[in-house]
Amino acid sequence: MISLNINNKNYQVEVEGDVPLLWVIREHVRLTGTKFGCGIGECGACTVHLDGEAMPSCQVTAKEAEGKKITTIEGLGESHPVQLAWIEDEVPQCGYCQSGQIMQASALLTVTPHPTDDDIDYAMNGNSCRCGTYPRIRRAIHHAAEKSGKGGKS
Amino acid sequence: MSWIINVSRREFCKAGALLGGGLVLGFYLPEGLSAAQQAAKVDGPFIPNAFIRIGRDDTVTIIVNHSEMGQGVYTSLPMLVAEELEADWQKIRIEPAPVDPAYNHTQWGMQGTGGSTSIRSSWEQLSKAGAVARIMLEKAAAAAWNEDVKNCRAENGFVVHPDGKRRLSFGELAEKAAQMEAPQEVVLKQPKDDKVLGTSKKRLDTPDKTNGKALYGIDIMVPGMLTAVVARPPVFGGTVKGFDDTWARKIPGVKAVVQIDRGVAVVADYFTAALRGRSALKIFWDDGALAGLDSNVQLQQYRQMAEKPGAVAAQRGDFGAAMGRAAQKIEAAYHFPYLAHAPMEPLNCVADVRPDSCEIWVGTQMQTLDRNKAAEITGLPPEKVTLHTTYLGCGFGRRAVPDSHFVSEAVQISKAMQAPIKVIWTREDDIHGGYYRPSAYTSLVAGLGADGMPVALRQRIVCQSIVKGTPFEGGLMKNGIDATSVEGAADSPYEIADFLVEYHMAPAGVPVLWWRSVGHSSTAFAKECFIDELAHAAKQDPYTYRRKLLANHPRQLAVLDLAARQGGWGKPTVAGAFQGIAVHESFGSHVAQVAEVSVNKKNAIRVHKVVCVVDCGRLVNPDTIEAQMESAIVFGLSAALHDQITFTRGRVEQSNFDNYEILRLKEMPQVKVYIIKNDEPPGGIGEPGVPPIAPAVANAFFAATGIRLRALPMTPAAIKEAVTMI
């Protein structure tokens, strides 16, 4: 039995401790906004926040996540500045990687409220988008930074 | 462009009230016929269509028969309806279509999405659907007011009274409209009257794609569902000789091990258990005929094939005679690897087979074939198979498989288990899984006249056929030539008097498939790099050289000229960068790109900037067109700079995103997109941005280094080799 705190709710999950957190979130807790893309931490589609830090959840076991505050895309709500900027700038195409992109971007803005293009490139480089929404991701992060009332420029 | 369409009374099968009250619009349209043909052939075979539902609450639901995989059809197709319907865009909702002949692709005779055809093939059909519904609503309002319908016009979700003040909403009119006689003639709008088309409407699917609510096939869960992974042969064409599942069955959570036609499935409560069960399986494979497949050996075979004449795909004049008169002879050959589509969402399918029904949830581009395959496997009549189309986490052609293999696997396992099954492919399964863009080898010979312009050109293409043995063979294969292998070459617009394109069908074996831009993904590279080579040999500027050969192709010239102008041809804007240019027509659209490129000390190409000009005819959603150009450039650059599928001892050498790299944000060039506006017939937008990018980059690399890269991908290792060859 593993105890997980996901989006401020406590879950007792009947699962082996070495199962990747990604699959516990998706299959046991049934929050499917967090996506499976590669399983080896290369694409970032499964990015969640662990105690506020963006992590690929396929590279964290359920056991390791115990005692940490886990936030998924569902926990971010629907009107986070990053989400609003994503809508305003029409970032998503197929949309599959976007939960991970948004989780990564929101973690970036928490640490770096005024990211430069280089900051964005560095922080977001582990999040692949096969549709190629990269130019809009850059633009939307700048817009989200502005909307958060914290300035931000390229 | 405008269409006047006579719609015979009997073409309308029903316009009756739906349960709950509302206008259900259904009518017959002949499959695959143009509007003009249809008007002339009202007695022909008709098929039912139903695309619009208007509720009492004013909601206008558009039933969309094409799959949403990022290209924006869940917005652009409703825009076609909304334009003629005069609907309030805020009231538009969409619903994915079920599988039914009513929702067949208007040219394919089956439901499906691909070939950048959704807008082109649906334009008339959906515009008419909208126009017919609008007229019936106007008639309903006219009847309610006892006015002449000519004076009652629909506007933004209402029908407005002749006094210009009173109005009734579509919802208020819905029931009455259902009783109105459908119009016999529909006059569609002139482009100048468009209100919705040509504007950047917000995509209807965007909010749900930012909050985790959008459901993809992989997200579907049904009660009692089990999850399966499949062990497939390590060599294409391999078969299972036997297996030992003793250890696999001991993995906690593993429920069963099931042999199916394509391998051995491990079924478990959850994905991780299934995966661990599969690792514990011991399978004895018969590797079959491709056990020795080696990419280097295959390249030699292709080269040898290209030395001999092939089947003639295109011919003008007399190539041989013209070569005899040429002042200069230029030769080059290009090689392209197999490529995986690598959609972000790995393939998956949920199937629930029951004694008297089968239900499927899947992100697919080929609904009818998938449904039919499920019927064949289960023995059920097709109408007992229900297929739900989910969002697709990318498609690029990988989800348009004529053999329906990823649906077939789930149906077979569900049938054996008598339980709902979700099959999930791992990324390794995907990269190893075949259905690749075929490898191709192409050789070119050209003769230049005294003025440096080409007088003769011969191209030989060696490539596996994608369509052979599929339901598409009849339409796309003629005289042994697969149209998808020679497209972009056989129809080259460059005016060269003596011109010959030949085709050798490479031996089948590795499963191949359409990959975003299909044949153009390689033929455009050969065409646009070779023309650059000819310009260089003629000591002429590659942009103006192309211009001379495109004098009678105004749309090609227009995109080329604008790209040169906006790209600042001849004056790179990035310090230390060099420019390359390419232009190509595909899927009814014209695209030109200017790339600015530099090469670092580690032989890595850095693409700094791409100026992209597209002419896709009449516009639907400009922002989506821009997004698709950006997308195509990224997709094309991944292939140009990184990707290849190679074989050694029959096995694929790549496995996941660590060695099959897709472009990352750091590598993303600045992209500027310009859209040429005109009233030409609509062209595709999903694919046409892909073909020009790789040749534009290769031509820029030549400008930077004087070295021609004639094989993809242009990796540092390949560049290092090219440098040492000098």
- 3-state DSSP: chain B helix, strand, coil percent, rounded to 5? 35, 25, 40
Model confidence pLDDT, tens digit, residues A110-137: 999 999 999 999 999 999 999 999 999 9
pLDDT greater than 90 at residue B175? no
Number of Cβ within a 10 Å radius of residue B204: 20
Nearest CA distance, A141 vs chain B (angstrom): 13
Interval B311-349: pLDDT, tens: 999 999 999 999 999 999 999 999 999 999 999 999 999
**Considering only residues 172 to 211 of chain B, which have any Cβ-Cβ distance to chain A shorter than 8 Å?**
202-203, 205-211
**Domain ranges in chain A?**
2-75, 78-147
B150 contact A CB<8A: no
Task: Give the least confident one: A144-148, B146-150, B174-178, B286-290.
Answer: B174-178
What residue of A is the nearest CA neighbor of B428? A38
Confidence of residue B377 (pLDDT cuts 50, 70, 90): very high
> Any CB–CB contact under 8 A between A27 and chain B?
yes
Contact B614, B685 (CB under 8 A): yes
- Chain A, 46 to 85: residues with Cβ < 8 Å from chain B are 72-74, 76-78, 83
d(CA B580, CA B597): 8
Q: What count of other Cβ atoms lies within 10 Å of the Cβ of residue B480?
A: 13
pLDDT greater than 70 at residue B7:
no
B214 vs A contacts (CB less than 8 Å): 95
For domain A78-147, give its CATH number from 3.40.50.300, 1.10.1060.10, 1.25.40.10, 1.10.150.120.
Answer: 1.10.150.120
> Quick check: A20 contacting B, CB < 8 Å?
yes
Q: Rounded to a whole number, what is the distance in Å from the CA of B520 to chain A's nearest CA?
A: 19
Give the pLDDT score at B20: 32
- Residues of A whose CB is below 8 A from B272: 16, 19-20, 23
Tell me the fold of A2-75: Ubiquitin-like (UB roll) (3.10.20)
Helix (H, G, I), strand (E, B) or coil at A91: coil
Residues of A in contact with B657 (CB under 8 A): 37-38, 40, 42-43, 128
Decide: residue A9, CB within 10 A, 0-12 exposed, 13-18 middle, 19+ buried. exposed
Looking at the predicted structure, is the pLDDT value of residue B5 above 60? no
Domains and CATH numbers, chain B: 4-209 (3.30.365.10), 217-288+347-424 (3.30.365.10), 295-338+436-724 (3.30.365.10)
Q: What is the pLDDT of residue B49?
A: 36
Question: How do residues A44-89 score in pLDDT, each as one tens digit?
Answer: 999 999 999 999 999 999 999 999 999 999 999 999 999 999 999 9
Position B525 scores a pLDDT of 98
Q: What is the pLDDT of residues B491-511, one digit of tens each?
A: 999 999 999 999 999 999 999
pLDDT of residue B726 exceeding 80: no
- Closest residue of A to B201, CA-based? A90
Share of chain B above pLDDT 70, in %: 93
Could you give the C-alpha distances from B486 to A92, A93, B334, B457, B501, in angstroms and in order? 33, 30, 14, 15, 8
A128 touching chain B per CB within 8 A:
yes
* B660 in contact with chain A, both atoms CB, cutoff 8 A: no
pLDDT at B234 > cutoff 70: yes
Nearest CA to CA, how far is B464 from chain A (Å)?
A: 26
Find the helix or strand (DSSP H, E) in which B167 lies. strand B167-169
pLDDT at residue A72, as a whole number? 98
Q: In this structure, what DSSP letter does residue B391 have? A: B
CA distance B664 to chain A (A): 6
Mean pLDDT (whole number) for B381-398: 97
Beta-carbon contacts of B351 under 8 Å, excluding residues fewer than 6 positions away, are B358, B359, B360, B374, B407, B410, B411, B413, B414, B420, B421, B423
**The one-letter amino acid at B270:** Y
Kindly report, residue by residue over B512-571, the tens digit of the pLDDT.
Answer: 999 999 999 999 999 999 999 999 999 999 999 999 999 999 999 999 999 999 999 999
Q: B263 near B235, Cβ under 8 Å?
A: no
Pairing assessment for the beta strands B498-505 and B454-463 based on DSSP bridges: parallel
Distance of CA B229 to the CA centre of its chain: 27
Amino acid identity, residue B303? R
Mean pLDDT for B595-606 is 97
Q: For position B723, what pLDDT does the model report? A: 87
Q: How far is B672 from chain A (nearest CA, A)?
A: 10
Has residue B28 got a pLDDT over 70?
Answer: no
* Number of other CB atoms surrounding residue B411 within 10 Å: 27
Per-residue model confidence as pLDDT tens digits over B49-89: 379 989 888 989 999 999 999 999 999 999 999 999 999 99
ipTM exceeds 0.90, yes or no: yes
Say if B214 is an interface residue toward chain A (CB within 8 Å). Answer: yes
- Give me the phi and psi of B580, to 5 degrees please: -135, 150
**Residue A64 confidence (pLDDT):** 98
- Going by the DSSP 8-state scheme, the letter that residue B268 receives in this structure is E
Task: Tell me what pLDDT residue B409 has.
Answer: 98
pLDDT above 90 coverage of chain B, percent:
89
Please state, in angstroms and rounded to a whole number, the distance separating the CA atoms of residues B194 and B82: 10
Residue B243 or residue B95, greater confidence: B243
E-assigned strand segments in B237-310: 239-244, 254-260, 263-268, 282-286
Residue A140 distance to chain B (closest CA, Å): 12
Chain A partners within 8 Å of B668 (Cβ): 132, 134-135, 138
What is the per-residue pLDDT for B39? 34
**Mean of all residue pLDDT scores within chain B:** 92
Position B31 confidence tier, pLDDT thresholds 50, 70, 90? very low
> B429-444: per-residue pLDDT in tens?
999 999 999 999 999 9
Residue B350: pLDDT over 70:
yes
The pLDDT, as a whole number, for residue B17 is 29
Q: Return the pLDDT at B253.
A: 98
Nearest in space to B639 (alpha carbons), one of B602, B584, B689, B706: B689
With a cut of 50, say whether residue B685 has pLDDT above it.
yes
Q: Name the pLDDT band for B19 (thresholds 50, 70, 90).
A: very low
Strand, helix or coil for residue B565? helix
Q: What is the mean pLDDT of residues B689-713?
A: 98
A145 in contact with B at a CB cutoff of 8 Å?
no
Q: Which tokens is A105 given? A: 């971007």
